Structure 1
Amino acid sequence: MDDARELSRRTALALGGSGALGGALILAGCAPAEDASGAGTPSETGSDSGDTGSTPTDAAGEDVAALADIPVGGSISATIGGEPVLLSQPSAGEVVAFSAICTHQGCTVAPEGAALICPCHGSTFDPATGDVEQGPALEPLPSVPVSVDGDRVIAG
């Protein structure tokens, strides 16, 4: 045959599931998807430039949640400007917010117990600071400005 054929991941794994080829293909499964230019998109990679995709900063004044819905010492998922965020209440009346987009490869991070956990590769983040507690993520979750107005959490 004259036409060049691409080897699918499934076929390559079936043919060379062990050794260097298998190891390289397994690692390739964790690689970010590429756009037409060959570069991963910011929402998929978290981007090396520090830009982790869109952050909900243009929604100032939006009512986000009731303060009572966020447990003291805990976190909830919410949206601001249509973007997923995590709201945490480290101490009574103090609310902080972070983008819920993992800085590793763009999966949506969720509150789980006393941590923020990425379900894709297991990165964990501190709910009070957004800092990485366990990788593979290397960068903290970007902070999103919020304020408390009475018993409501407001964007901005």
Structure 2
Amino acid sequence: MERRPCLSRRHALLLPTSAVGVGTLAACGPQEEGSDNPEPLRADDGSVPLDEVPENASTMVNFGGQQPFVLLVRGAGDDLTAYSGYCTHNGCALSQLQDELDCPCHGSKFDADTGEVLAGPATRHLPQIDVVVEDGAVRRVR
């Protein structure tokens, strides 16, 4: 009876992919202090104080519940626009790096002020999310 090798061709072909995956996971450690990728604001009660959202900037907010990440883009005062915090290509949660949003799954990039696609594979801009400012707090409209 012929002996088969310990490593099949199929498994041998998967080795380079596995090595890349392990290297990628190693690069996904905790954020260092002073990182350009700030933690999203938490709004567990469904609202975030408006004064915690900086003017003339964009901020990721975790409103809790299903698909909680929302990008708030604030101008001056109560001027707010909100976008989905999920990639339009495959639905991965985006991370904010200064003026852009990056998709860790496939590399799409979005403008953090407009939600427009900067780099694919995503082809659709981020959809707008309805939010209101009431009593000094930002609430997501469902």
- Structure 2 length normalisation: TM-score? 0.60
Q: Give, in angstroms, the shift of residue 74 of structure 1.
A: 2.2
Aligned counterpart in structure 2 of residue 107 of structure 1, from 78, 92, 106: 92
Tell me the SS of whatever aligns to 2:63: strand
Unaligned runs of 5+ residues in structure 2 are 1-7, 22-44
Tell me the SS of whatever aligns to 2:60: strand
Q: Give, in angstroms, the shift of residue 94 of structure 1.
A: 1.7
Matched, 1:91 2:92: no
Residues 72-81 or 137-146, more deviating: 72-81
Q: Which amino acid in 2 is paired with 1:128?
A: D
Instruction: Please give the alpha-carbon distance, in whole angstroms, between the structure 2 residues aligned to 1:144 and 1:106.
Output: 15
- Bigger RCO of structures 1 and 2 (CA < 8 A, at least 6 apart): 1
Matched, 1:69 2:52: yes
Unaligned runs of 5+ residues in structure 1 are 1-6, 18-24, 30-61
Residues 10, 137 of structure 1: CA spacing in aligned structure 2 closer, same or farther, 3 A cutoff? farther
- Structure 1 length normalisation: TM-score? 0.55
Q: Which amino acid in 2 is paired with 1:64?
A: S
Using the aligned pairs only, state the percent identity: 34
Q: Which amino acid in 2 is paired with 1:63?
A: G
CA displacement 1:43-64 (0-9 Å, x = unmatched): xxxxxxxxxxxxxxxxxxx733
CA contact (8 A) 1:63 1:152 kept: no
Q: Which residue of 2 aligns with 1:145?
A: 130
For the aligned residues, what is the CA RMSD? 2.8
Instruction: Please give the alpha-carbon distance, in whole angstroms, between the structure 2 residues aligned to 1:143 and 1:80.
Output: 18
Residues 107, 153 of structure 1: CA spacing in aligned structure 2 closer, same or farther, 3 A cutoff? same
CA contact (8 A) 2:88 2:124 kept: yes
**1:36-51 counterparts in 2 under 5 A?**
none
CA contact (8 A) 2:62 2:70 kept: yes
CA contact (8 A) 1:102 1:141 kept: yes
Residues 117, 103 of structure 1: CA spacing in aligned structure 2 closer, same or farther, 3 A cutoff? same
The count of aligned residue pairs is: 106
Q: Which residue of 2 aligns with 1:116?
A: 101
Tell me the SS of whatever aligns to 1:98: strand
